[in-house]
Amino acid sequence: MSAMNHSTDLSASLKGQRVVITAGAGGIGLAIARMLHASECRIAVCDVSDDNLDRVASELEGVTAVKADVSRDEEVEAFFKQATDALGGLDALINNAGIAGPTSAIEDIDPEDWRRCLAIGLTGQFLCARLAVPHLKAAGGGSIVNMSSAAGRHGYAYRTPYSAAKFGVIGFTQSLAKELGPSNIRVNAILPGIVSGPRMEGVIRNRAERLGISEEAMTERYLQTISLRRMVTEEDVAGSVAFLLSDLGANLSAMSFNVDGNVETL
């Protein structure tokens, strides 16, 4: 088979793409939505926050914003019906939804907290992918980007549910890439590291409390584990997603991209 011709202009190859982003009204999801919207993608997002949904709907013209919890089958199905009706099909799915889960010793973790963390961070990706794939196939191919984490390649003490979910995302990604490649659907994972913002501030606060040290000392401890000695931004992650959706990423699949400044350990 001869090589396909692709545009080397990232924004030009994104223009008009129909994209679903889970948890797309806040944090990394909102950064992704903003970047893709600026490249004239057509976007549908879901989120569980009414305030965030109102904000994204008012900020990004034409975006379809729907309240949905990705761990609930019926809510995911209702969201995809609204999204694909509004977009007229689908070219890309960004499985971004996830929660931090509990910060606790294994013997102190409530089983329901464990289940909830995996339900949103891993099962939710399955629930969305199973509905997205028929539309991607109908479009002649497309892209799925699954959000993992540096915790998907490092063990993470006191964060076992989160790390287990993120390791699971890697296996899910590699399996789907093999299954869907013949349908011209590429599947990749992004592994953000320590992303600056309110969510990471909460993680640092909880972990500092668990270890009995100050938040400042906990922050410095995190930075010392990063080769570049700095956190990444939500925009760093969004840029990687945009690249994978563009023609520049057309032959990338089954990959795990560490957007983290090289986190050496957690």
Candidate list 156, 158, 162, 222, residue with the active-site label? 162
pLDDT surpassing 70 at residue 225:
yes
Contact 160/106 with Cβ under 8 angstroms?
A: yes
Task: For residues 99-118, give the mean pLDDT.
Answer: 96
Q: What are phi and psi of 100, to 5 degrees?
A: -70, -30
Q: What share of the chain is helix, strand, coil (3-state, %, to 5)?
A: 50, 15, 35
Span 98-109, average pLDDT: 95
pTM given for the model:
0.93
Within a 10 A sphere around the Cβ of 10, how many other Cβ atoms? 16
Mean pLDDT of the chain: 95
130-185 pLDDT tens trace: 999 999 999 999 999 999 999 999 999 999 999 999 999 999 999 999 999 999 99
CATH number, domain 10-195+234-259: 3.40.50.720
Distances (CA, A) of 40 to 15, 16, 62, 80: 5, 6, 10, 21
CA distance 183 to 142: 9
Active site residue 162: yes
Statement: residue 2 has pLDDT above 70: no
Q: What is the pLDDT of residue 200?
A: 85
Q: Residue 11 — very low, low, confident or very high, per pLDDT cuts 50/70/90? A: confident
Q: Which of 76-80, 117-121, 219-223 has the lowest mean pLDDT?
A: 219-223
**In whole angstroms, what separates CA 94 from the centre of its chain?**
6
Query: pLDDT tens digit string along 175-216?
Result: 999 999 999 999 999 999 999 988 789 889 988 998 999 999
H or E segment and range at residue 20: strand 18-21
Q: What is the pLDDT of residues 235-266, one digit of tens each?
A: 999 999 999 999 999 999 999 999 999 999 98
- Compute the residue count for the chain: 266
What span, in angstroms and rounded, lies between the C-alpha atoms of 94 and 14? 14
